[in-house]
Amino acid sequence: MSDKEFGLSRRQMLAGLGTIGVASAGAGLGTTALFSDEESFEGNSVTAGTLDMSVTASVEAANEYWAEQVDLAELEATADGDAVTGIQVSDVKPGDWGIICFEFEVGDNPGYIRTRAEGRETGENGYTEPEPTDGEAENDPDDDDGAGELQDFMLAEVYQNSVDANSDDPRDYVENLDPVTPEGSTLQETYDTFSGGVIMRDGDGEPLEVGSDPEEGTPDGPGSAEWCLLLYVPEDVGNIIQSDTLSFDLVFEAEQVRNNDVPFDGDSAVSETATPEPTATPDPTSTPEGTATPE
């Protein structure tokens, strides 16, 4: 065994420790350099669609008396947001009639359309002497707030379209593909039919899709649609309606077609409603002429 001795000075020991420290530091720097990459899609947004319906009510035809009294072209009202007052008729007599048509336009997305009748009010408006008081009338002559009978004697028939005609018969000015109400329906009967809501349908009986383009429409339906209401007091109605009044509201609703297999199946928070309020109201200030049946 050799007698050599290994000497290690303090300076040599510190230098060796320093070298180890440098090597360790170098190893540490190497482990912090990781591969990385970053991609992004910016400006993403989601916008809800819209559905907008407007309804225009106009008097398309009337009997000669009323046509001579007013300019039919001016009897037009459009509802597109707030409710509006529609057609008002006064001094109605047996033989008077008028045809009110409602045109619907649906914008932005195709929609189904439903019509509801509500708010019917009637009144005797004070009995007039010629009106029967022998039980034929609905109310006692002493009841100033009686309901009246006009709604049971005025006819209210619904048709799909109006047509040009030159006739004394009001039904020559309208046509039906699939009658909603039978010919001869009274205003009360038609009101009852529409009080639960009636959906506009096509010739096959399917809910009509009214599109957003008034010119081209949609593949499944037109851009606009209409239906017409014939109000008619037949000539044989007698004194029983004298001074009676009535009023009612029509509410029109539109609901989207897409993703809607059963239109108006329950309440919808995204339906669009327009509410013209057509009324037929005899003038309470007018005095019936004579004691015979009004002309």
User: pLDDT tens digits, residue range 255-274?
Assistant: 999 899 899 986 544 445 55
Asked whether residue 230 carries a pLDDT value surpassing 50, the answer given is yes
Which stretches of the chain are DSSP H helices?
Answer: 10-31, 64-69, 150-153, 187-195
Q: Are residues 199 and 264 in contact, defined by beta-carbon separation less than 8 angstroms?
A: yes
Beta strands in 70-223 (DSSP E): 76-79, 84-85, 97-107, 111-123, 155-159, 161-162, 174-175, 198-199
Condensed to tens digits (0 to 9), the pLDDT of residues 46-58 reads: 988 888 889 998 8
- Tally Cβ neighbours within 10 Å of residue 59: 22
* pLDDT computed for residue 295 by the predictor: 35
Instruction: Please list, in sequence order, all residues whose beta carbon lies within 8 angstroms of the beta carbon of residue 36, skipping any fewer than 6 positions away.
Output: none
Token match 């070298």: residue? 19
Max mean pLDDT range (88-97, 127-136, 215-224):
88-97
Higher pLDDT, 239 or 287: 239
The predicted pLDDT at position 270 comes to 45
Which residue, chain included where needed, has tokens 């189904």? 112
Cβ(196)–Cβ(124) below 8 Å: no
Four-CA torsion 248, 228, 232, 275, nearest 10 degrees? 10
pLDDT value of position 249: 92
Residue type, 64: E
Q: What is the pLDDT of residue 189?
A: 95
- 134-190, pLDDT tens digit by residue? 555 555 555 555 567 899 999 999 998 889 998 889 999 998 866 788 899 999 999
